[in-house]
Amino acid sequence: MEPIKTKAIVTRAVPYGESDMIVTLISVDRGKISASARGCLKPKAKLRYAAQPFNFGEYVLNGKNGKFIVTECSQIEGFSTITADIERYYAGFSVLDALEKLTREADARIFALALKSLGELAYGAERSADAIVTDFLKGALELNGSALDFGHCNACRCVLDDRAYFSEKEGIVCKHCKAFDDIAIDGIYRAYINGENDNTPHTLAGQANVLLADLVYRMLGVKLNTRYFTEPI
């Protein structure tokens, strides 16, 4: 079988044996791929960076029946500066986690959005890590066909100016359209997620992202497990 060449982002890397890593790649044209990076933990290994989370590169894979080995990798961007800041580090892993779990098939649009978000976390000091994570998750949901409009009631289309509610049937609704068992969304969280308040404190922004993660689970059955969503820093 001919080698596969694809551009991909490493979302996870797990040690295997003494010097190997099993990496999870999200490929721009092939979706999710699991592959072995052999010998990458050895000193001066040529494939060392190919098994590092955040790495974006052109990978050459050999194998068949879903079992692949990384034979080459040309790094395009490592986003290494993300690891220098603990908040952006956790935020970056949240982007990787959501990218992996929301990518069922190859989607160049979500892939490009992830690259944009990682670039902002690495080099865009003017934007908070909270806002970058929120925008990625909202954008990924929209591209996934599960968009949530936090500015308008999805039932009557009125402008939401206070507390909103999540309906599993309708999405985001106002207090007049809600059912008795719909989930209340506090006004400060709704405004932050909708981009109406750029000065939201980190604690509240983190709680808003926890809320978004919960809505993702309720809509798609996808559980986002990274610390940034489940335990605000």
Task: Tell me how many domains the chain contains.
Answer: 2
- Examine the domain organization and report whether 102 and 72 are in the same domain: no
Most confident of 43-47, 149-153, 205-209, 229-233: 149-153
Domain end, chosen from 19, 49, 77, is at 77
The residue ranking higher by pLDDT, 146 or 8, is 8
Question: pLDDT, tens digit, for every residue of 23-64?
Answer: 999 999 999 999 999 999 998 888 989 999 999 999 999 987
Domain that holds residue 191: 83-230
Residues 66-85: what's their mean pLDDT? 94
- pTM score of the predicted model: 0.90
Q: Inform me whether the pLDDT recorded for 232 exceeds 70.
A: no
- Examine the domain organization and report whether 11 and 105 are in the same domain: no
Angle at 58 between CA 122 and CA 39, to 5 degrees: 95
- The CATH code of the domain that includes 71 is 2.40.50.140
Q: Are strands 31-37 and 67-77 parallel, antiparallel or unpaired?
A: parallel
Residues 127-146: what's their mean pLDDT? 91
* Cα dihedral 154/158/161/167 (nearest 10): -20
Distance in angstroms (rounded) separating the CA atoms of residues 94 and 213: 10
Cβ atoms of 60 and 36 within 8 Å: the answer is no
- Examine the domain organization and report whether 158 and 43 are in the same domain: no
- The CATH code of the domain that includes 154 is 1.20.1440.120
Distance in angstroms (rounded) separating the CA atoms of residues 231 and 206: 8
- Examine the domain organization and report whether 72 and 90 are in the same domain: no
Taking all residues of the chain, what is their mean pLDDT, rounded to a whole number? 91
- Examine the domain organization and report whether 185 and 171 are in the same domain: yes
Q: Inform me whether the pLDDT recorded for 198 exceeds 80.
A: no
Cβ atoms of 149 and 172 within 8 Å: the answer is yes
- Examine the domain organization and report whether 148 and 173 are in the same domain: yes
- Examine the domain organization and report whether 185 and 201 are in the same domain: yes
Percent of the chain past pLDDT 70, that is, above it, reads 97
> Which pLDDT score is estimated for 38?
93
Cβ atoms of 18 and 52 within 8 Å: the answer is no
Domain end, chosen from 47, 77, 107, is at 77
The residue ranking higher by pLDDT, 104 or 57, is 57
